[in-house]
């Protein structure tokens, strides 16, 4: 029960950024003394900072929010990026979609406008979105289930990749560090993502501008001349210069938050 409540407080503050102790208590259905103790625990863990009369989420990329929370973060930008990535698909392609929330938007576009392709994924959400879609053949990797982001990881998943080859890989990023490398929170995920890159003719990283300038624990790959990148047009110019110098082929896309909101029903 306590772990569930701590998780609920983290997710609530992730969405709100900051809140009063009364708002938190109401959101998680706990008493004020209980929430005070929970906030002390979370602050000790580095997840939140207590403030006068409340708390705010810690300024750290080391906190990984739940998949469903992360999917809704910067959703308009993610949908625009997903639409641009979808436009790169052609009939009869073999495509790998990883477990990133921006990559999930590509799957949603395929569902809205199907084309005959073979989709491979390690993401349960992607497989679910594409279930029973005509002309789309879906293969889900086997392995250890990481419930935190609804993905399959581990040695079994890696061994399956050794026997596969993809025309296109769409790869997400938890963060993009100042060193120009993508990072993730999970060691097994980092290793699996590295293997994906070696099994694809073309790799396109999908990452909205909010991911840049942060660093998680495990490095995945450098954004260089081996990779393409699709991001949104709010990315700072110094990042575009850095990516160009590294040889990364970068496309930026604009987005309309109001128009994106109208798609909520279609994405369900």
Q: What is the mean pLDDT of residues 202-227?
A: 94
Domain spans in the chain, listed from the N-terminal domain onward: 2-57, 68-267
If you average pLDDT over every residue of the chain, what do you get?
A: 87
Long-range contacts of 254-262 (CB under 8 A, 24+ apart): 254/80, 255/76, 255/77, 255/79, 255/80, 256/76, 256/80, 257/76, 259/76, 260/75, 260/76, 260/79, 260/80, 261/76
At 7 the pLDDT is: 81
Choose among 225, 149, 226, 137: nearest CA to 192: 149
Residue whose tokens read 């938007």: 105
At 266 the pLDDT is: 44
CB 144, CB 152: distance < 8 Å: yes
CA distance 93 to 72: 29
On the question of pLDDT at 203 being above 60, the answer is yes
Residue 72 or residue 266, greater confidence = 72
Residue 259 CB-half CA count within 13 A: 8
CA distance 10 to 8: 5
Residue 43 or residue 149, greater confidence = 43
What pLDDT, in 10s, does the model give residues 158-179?
A: 999 999 999 999 999 999 999 9
What pLDDT, in 10s, does the model give residues 225-261?
A: 999 999 999 999 999 999 999 999 999 999 875 444 4
CB 237, CB 214: distance < 8 Å: no
Could you tell me the fold of the domain covering 68-267? Rossmann fold (3.40.50)
On the question of pLDDT at 98 being above 60, the answer is yes
Segment among 3-7, 85-89, 123-127, 142-146 with least mean pLDDT: 3-7
Segment among 128-142, 143-157, 171-185, 251-265 with least mean pLDDT: 251-265
At 10 the pLDDT is: 82
What DSSP character marks residue 123? B
DSSP secondary structure string for all residues of 9-46: HHHHHHHHSEEEHHHHHHHHT--HHHHHHHHHHHHHTT
pTM of the predicted model as reported, rounded to 2 decimal places:
0.72
- List helix spans (H) across 73-161: 75-86, 101-112, 124-129, 155-161
Domain 2-57 has CATH 1.10.10.10: yes
At 72 the pLDDT is: 54
Residue whose tokens read 């810690």: 58
At 92 the pLDDT is: 98
Residues sharing a CB contact under 8 Å with residue 20, sequence separation 6 or more, in sequence order: 53, 54
On the question of pLDDT at 108 being above 50, the answer is yes
Q: What is the mean pLDDT of residues 84-101?
A: 96
At 47 the pLDDT is: 73
What pLDDT, in 10s, does the model give residues 11-69?
A: 788 667 789 999 999 999 999 999 999 999 988 877 788 988 999 876 543 434 455 55
At 149 the pLDDT is: 74
pLDDT band at 74 (very low <50, low <70, confident <90, very high): confident
């Amino acid at each position: 029960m306590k772990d569930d409540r701590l998780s609920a407080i983290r997710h609530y503050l992730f969405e709100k950024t900051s809140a009063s102790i009364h708002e938190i208590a109401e959101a998680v259905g706990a008493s004020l003394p209980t929430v005070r103790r929970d906030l002390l625990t979370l602050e000790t863990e580095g997840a939140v900072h207590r403030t006068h009369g409340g708390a705010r989420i810690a300024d750290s990329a080391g906190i990984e929010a739940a998949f469903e929370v992360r999917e809704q973060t910067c959703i308009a930008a993610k949908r625009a990026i997903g639409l641009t990535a979808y436009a790169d698909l052609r009939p009869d392609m073999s495509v790998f979609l990883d477990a990133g929330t921006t990559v999930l938007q590509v799957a949603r576009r395929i569902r809205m406008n199907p084309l005959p392709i073979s989709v491979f994924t390690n993401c349960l959400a992607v497989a679910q979105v594409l279930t029973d879609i005509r002309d789309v053949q879906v293969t889900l990797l086997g392995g250890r289930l990481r419930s935190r982001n609804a993905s399959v990881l581990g040695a079994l998943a890696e061994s399956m990749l050794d026997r596969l080859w993809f025309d296109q890989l769409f790869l997400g990023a938890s963060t993009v560090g100042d060193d120009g490398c993508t990072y993730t929170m999970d060691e097994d995920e980092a290793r699996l993502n590295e293997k994906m890159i070696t099994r694809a003719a073309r790799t396109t990283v999908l990452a909205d501008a909010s991911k840049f300038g942060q660093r998680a624990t495990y490095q995945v790959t450098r954004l260089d001349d081996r990779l393409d990148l699709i991001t949104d047009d709010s990315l700072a110019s110094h990042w575009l210069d850095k990516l160009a110098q590294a040889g990364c082929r970068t496309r930026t896309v604009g987005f309309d938050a109001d128009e994106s909101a109208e798609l909520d029903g279609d994405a369900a």
